[in-house]
Amino acid sequence: MKSKLIKGLSIFLGGILMFTACEDEDTSPNLGDAVGTWKLVGLDGTYDRKIINKTGVANTAEEYQLMAYWKDAEAFGGALQQAGVAITPEAVKALTAQKMGAPFKPGDNAPGFPRDASFTKTTLAAAGIQMEVDLLDSKSATDKGTYTVKGTYPSLRLDPDKCQTYLMLPPPQINDTGDWFANYETGKFELSPVVDIDQVLPPFADGTFKVNREVDPATFYLEFLDRDSHDSKFSEVKPGKSWDTKMEEDKRVITGIDGLPTNAAGGWDPAASTDAASEAYIMQAALAPWGGFLTFYALNVLGELAARKADVKNPLADYDSSGVVDGTDLFMYMLANIQAGNDAKTGFGIPYSALVDLGDGTDPSKFKFKNDSGADWVLTAWTAGGKMKYQVKGLCMPVNETILFKSSWEEEEEHDHDHD
């Protein structure tokens, strides 16, 4: 009887011990709810690029002027040369080149920036972007865990020959690894990539994160600022490390512009919302006499105005007493020459009489510059004028870049988390 009692008591006590051991066992991760395998389902990126000027930096300059060149300049110059005109195709190209707005200067936003890129789960898949991060647990709550990131990622790249910035498709591969840590009290997230291999993700200690395990699948949100390619902000994520020659070679971003948006009339228009075009018409409000276009006749008039104003012996006078020597004075000068039987020619050989429209010649109030914007300029009928097609020459500029990323993830695999 005694042995049975002792045996039963032993079994009972063993059960208590086993039950107590199961109750005390904590299976939750040391680094909390963020531990897991997560799949990218949403991504917003704000790219900020500031133009710089710095000794020893590729493409550096005091200022950066975007230029456009007449696409038919060299062909026209060759035709003039064959006709006996003392001019070269290169000279015609230089004479007809146009500055596209004011120059970009150090400290300015790079053209097209800040630039936002936004991807949903659907558009990520359409662009071929997919990413999976595995946040592995640590040995203790105070130690860092390790991570791996694999997949493909969005990347802006530069074609140095065209000075063209573009989104790389198909997207490049990512295969990153390093250490991570999450502070649930402050909401801060830290990433420390391995330093002796090429990494895509930048280091940061001030990212912000949120985990929600009350939904299925669980969600993870991570926001961080990429300062990896900013020569002064880099020290914020790498204290004590200076931006040296190696950093300049590996991390410097060069931005490029080889086109501008266009309006419905096919003219470059910085206010338009279309994709940038490298070939278009030049349009300005000051070109109203020619329909707003830079036409061949407009080019001749503007060239003649500059030449007459610069004529030291016989400079163009302020005929209308407006206080400014401008196109109105040139028109009066040209009209006087025509009426005097002196039908002079411009530097490109266009007679004054071809550049003015006198109507029936009886109403001076209707006299005006001839509008030749009804058709494009063609070499075979070059004296008839026409709209001129221009091509932007790509412009490369060094910049400091930061990227604010806001990423959304869903748990890929179920993990055992204790939420008691």
**pLDDT at res. 14:** 44
Strand boundaries in 241-385, DSSP class E: 253-257, 279-281, 356-357, 368-369
Specify the amino acid at residue 257.
Answer: I
What are 116's strand-pairing partners?
46
> Which tokens is 17 given?
């011990």
**pLDDT at res. 53:** 96
The DSSP result for 95-164, as a single string, is HH-EE-SSPB-TTSBPTT-SEEEEE-HHHHHHTT--EEEEE---SSTTS-EEEEEEEE---EEEETTTTE
Q: Are 181 and 205 in contact (CB under 8 A)?
A: no
Angstrom distance (rounded) from CA 21 to CA 7:
21
**pLDDT at res. 11:** 39
**pLDDT at res. 351:** 96
Full-model pTM:
0.83
| 384 φ, ψ (degrees, to nearest 5) | -80, -5
Taking the CA atoms of residue 159, residue 160, residue 162 and residue 163 in that order, the dihedral angle to the nearest 10 degrees is 90
Roughly how many angstroms between the first and final C-alpha of the chain, as a whole number?
43
Sign for the CA dihedral angle at 196, 202, 206, 207 comes to negative
Taking the CA atoms of residue 121, residue 117, residue 153 and residue 29 in that order, the dihedral angle to the nearest 10 degrees is -60
Q: In the chain, helix, strand, coil percent, each to 5?
A: 25, 30, 45
Alpha-carbon distances, residue 225 vs 25, 47, 130, 230, 368 (angstroms): 39, 10, 20, 11, 58
DSSP 3-state of 280: strand
**pLDDT at res. 195:** 86
Q: Locate the domains of the chain by residue range.
A: 32-66+102-258+397-411, 283-387
Specify the amino acid at residue 224.
Answer: F
| 364 φ, ψ (degrees, to nearest 5) | -55, -25
**pLDDT at res. 8:** 42
**pLDDT at res. 72:** 98
CA atoms within 13 A on the CB side of 126: 7
Instruction: For residue 332, give every residue at least 6 positions away whose Cβ sits within 8 Å of its Cβ, in sequence order, or none.
Output: 319, 320
Q: Which residues of the chain have pLDDT under 70?
A: 1-26, 414-420
What are 44's strand-pairing partners?
118, 406
Q: What is the pLDDT of residues 220-273, one digit of tens each?
A: 999 999 999 999 999 998 888 889 999 999 999 999 999 999 999 999 998 898
Instruction: For residue 242, give every residue at least 6 positions away whose Cβ sits within 8 Å of its Cβ, in sequence order, or none.
Output: 235
> Which of left, alpha, beta for 185 (phi over 0: left; psi -120 to 50: alpha)?
alpha
DSSP 3-state of 238: coil
Q: What is the pLDDT of residues 136-165, one digit of tens each?
A: 999 999 999 999 999 999 999 999 999 999
Specify the amino acid at residue 175.
Answer: N
Angstrom distance (rounded) from CA 310 to CA 303:
11
What DSSP state is assigned to residue 397? E
**pLDDT at res. 414:** 62
